[in-house]
Structure formats: C-alpha cells, structure tokens
Amino acid sequence: MTVKPEHYDVIVKPLITEKATLAGEANAYVFQVSKDSNKPQIKEAVENLFNVKVKAVNTTITKGKTKRFRGRPGTRSDVKKAYVTLEAGNSIDVSTGL
C-alpha cells in the first residue's frame, strides 16, 4: 500500500462529535471529505493512510445553514461526511494526526 498525495485531498479531517463517538462503538469512524470524492476514493484513502481494512462507506451531505455574523446574513458552506465502517479487529486512533 502506497500513500498517494491525492489521499490527503480526499480526507479533510476526522470529525469528533457526540454522534461520531457513538458510531465509534460500532467500529465506524466519521471523516469530513471533499465534496467531489466518491465512495471508492474514500475507501482507498482510508485503507492506505491508516493501514486498516474498510468494510463499508456511507456518505451524507450536510447543507450549510444561514447564520448572522455581526448583523449581516451569511451562509456556512456545505459539508460532505463519510461514515467509514471497518472490518472486525481494525481500529483508528482519531486523536492523533495524519
């Protein structure tokens, strides 16, 4: 397995939220990924960067909210998340960096 520079473009950062922590109990990890990436690219990137075996990849796109900043309306950007389920016996330490 070789790590290609494109793998770092696919995975933006791991997400550590309450919901992501609950998913971690089912051997699933949540990553923010680039919006133009697809499931095979995400699977290849996670397997090569973390040296694990991926069982399944589910993706979701969260639309950006309209918020006010200093009285002016603005819009947060859309975010694509990947829920990556690993094979039994594999794990990722999300607290360490890439």
Domain ranges of the chain: 5-86
Given pLDDT bands bounded at 50, 70 and 90, which one contains residue 2?
confident
Mean pLDDT of the chain: 89
| pLDDT digit string, tens, across residues 6-48 | 888 899 999 999 999 898 888 999 999 999 999 999 999 999 9
Euclidean distance between CA atoms 13 and 84, whole angstroms: 13
In three-state form (DSSP H/G/I as H, E/B as E, the rest C), the secondary structure along 56-82 is: EEEEEEECCCEEEECCEEEECCCEEEE
**Which pTM value belongs to this model?**
0.85
Between residues 62 and 6, the one the model is more confident about: 62
How large is the C-alpha radius of gyration of the chain? 15
Q: Does residue 98 surpass a pLDDT of 80?
A: no
Half-sphere exposure of 1 (CA within 13 A, CB side): 13
Give the domain 5-86 fold. Answer: Alpha-Beta Plaits (3.30.70)
